[in-house]
Amino acid sequence: MSTVDSKLKAFGTLVREGGFVPACDRVPGPLKVGVDLGTANLVLSVVDAKNNPVAGATWRSTVVRDGIVVDYIGAVNAVRKMKAEVEERLGEPLRYAAAAIPPGIHRGSTKAIGNVVEAADFELIEIIDEPTAAARLLGVTDGAVVDVGGGTTGISVLKNGEVIASFDEATGGTHMTLVLAGARQIIIAEAEAEKLNPANERDVFALVRPVVDKMATIVSGFLQRFPDVETIHVVGGACSFTEFEAVMAKQTGRRVIKPVEPLLVTPLGIAMFDSGVLPEIGAPQ
């Protein structure tokens, strides 16, 4: 996990500081982009031909709900703005992109997500499910990946590098915010800000613990069919709480691993598609 964590830390720094890796310091070949249309955050990730982070951008989201695009024009505009911002930093256009969806999403919603990426002037290379994208970055070939996003909790079980089962439940970070708003008797925006403030973590987690318990129960129930799965990898912004892994481990009775920068795992994994599928020739693998 040390290599993965160092890659995630580097990407996190690039996103937060608005930086980029210059062409002279990256592997030659076409740049690859991942577009993550999340319920709480939109993330655009850029990697080189060897999947090293190059640049990235985030956008607070109100255009997607539970994996479904509810504001198509808003989504397209947001992706276009992130694309333009990163292109300006890099001084070159971004052409090829991939996207991701929660497991089990309706085919029509999948098409809508692809349409957003294409309308933002990308050539769409692939659409994969979010836990699979996370597994690609983490290098998970056997075990379970749980992607806890703003609107959904997605689970994928992998064996010998192949996804053998997946499941998605409409429970995520947004539900934590709703519980917090009700408990504090404050508006949603205030509850979201309080949830995201690290200084409030201990008090906030005590209030949203029932939502985490529900997530853990969902994962535990799904994994009953897979007694050989010993390790669960958790990713996604909603699992950022320090105590999240302990709750998941206690409920499921399995080892739980959370990488650094859990919010950025899936976006970075989305961008790590095979360079060999691109029209340009000679990109290193």
The 10s digit of each residue's pLDDT in 123-162 is 999 999 888 899 999 999 999 999 998 888 889 999 998 8
pLDDT of residue 275: 83
Distance CA 241, CA 204 (A): 9
Q: Quick one: 189 and 273 in the same domain? A: no
Q: Quick one: 53 and 156 in the same domain? A: no
Residue 175 maps to a domain: yes
Q: From residue 220, how far is each of 227, 228, 256 by CA, in Å?
A: 10, 13, 12
Q: Quick one: 207 and 271 in the same domain? A: no
The 10s digit of each residue's pLDDT in 82-116 is 999 999 999 999 999 999 988 767 667 788 999 99
Q: Quick one: 110 and 166 in the same domain? A: no
End-to-end Cα spacing for the chain? 21
Q: Quick one: 110 and 224 in the same domain? A: no
Whichever domain contains 120, its CATH number is 3.30.420.40
Using an 8 Å Cβ cutoff, are 203 and 227 in contact? no
Residue 255 maps to a domain: yes
Q: Quick one: 157 and 179 in the same domain? A: yes
Tokens 């294409």 -> residue: 118
Q: What is the mean pLDDT of residues 216-234?
A: 94
| Three-state secondary structure call for residue 116 | helix
Distance CA 234, CA 240 (A): 9
Distance CA 259, CA 2 (A): 9
The total of structural domains in the chain comes to 2
Using an 8 Å Cβ cutoff, are 197 and 190 in contact? no
Going by pLDDT thresholds of 50, 70 and 90, the confidence category of residue 280 is low
Q: Quick one: 47 and 160 in the same domain? A: no
Which residues fall within 8 angstroms of residue 238, CB to CB, at 6 or more apart?
Answer: 40, 148, 149, 150, 172, 173, 176
Residue 83 maps to a domain: yes
Residue 282 maps to a domain: no
Given a cut of 50, whether residue 284 has pLDDT beyond it is no
Given a cut of 60, whether residue 281 has pLDDT beyond it is no
Using an 8 Å Cβ cutoff, are 120 and 146 in contact? no
Which residues fall within 8 angstroms of residue 116, CB to CB, at 6 or more apart?
Answer: 35, 37, 69, 72, 75, 76, 79, 99
Q: Quick one: 42 and 144 in the same domain? A: no
Residue 283 maps to a domain: no
Q: Quick one: 151 and 257 in the same domain? A: yes
Which residues constitute the domain of residue 67?
Answer: 2-130+265-277
Given a cut of 50, whether residue 285 has pLDDT beyond it is no
The 10s digit of each residue's pLDDT in 24-82 is 999 998 999 999 998 888 999 999 999 999 999 999 888 888 778 899 999 999 999 99
Given a cut of 70, whether residue 249 has pLDDT beyond it is yes
Beta bridge partner(s), residue 158 = 143, 163
Tokens of 192: 């979201």
- Closest alpha carbon to 99 in 133, 150, 148: 133
Q: From residue 67, how far is each of 35, 52, 171, 249 by CA, in Å?
A: 13, 27, 12, 26
DSSP assignment of 31-95 equals: -EEEEEE-SSEEEEEEE-TT--EEEEEEEE-SSEETTEES-HHHHHHHHHHHHHHHHHHHTS---
Residue 209 maps to a domain: yes
Q: Quick one: 233 and 192 in the same domain? A: yes
Tokens of 227: 């007694």
Q: Quick one: 36 and 103 in the same domain? A: yes
Using an 8 Å Cβ cutoff, are 18 and 271 in contact? no
Residue 284 maps to a domain: no
Q: Quick one: 167 and 249 in the same domain? A: yes
User: Average pLDDT of the chain?
Assistant: 91
Residue 202 maps to a domain: yes
Using an 8 Å Cβ cutoff, are 49 and 27 in contact? yes
Q: Give me the percent of the chain exceeding a pLDDT of 70.
A: 95
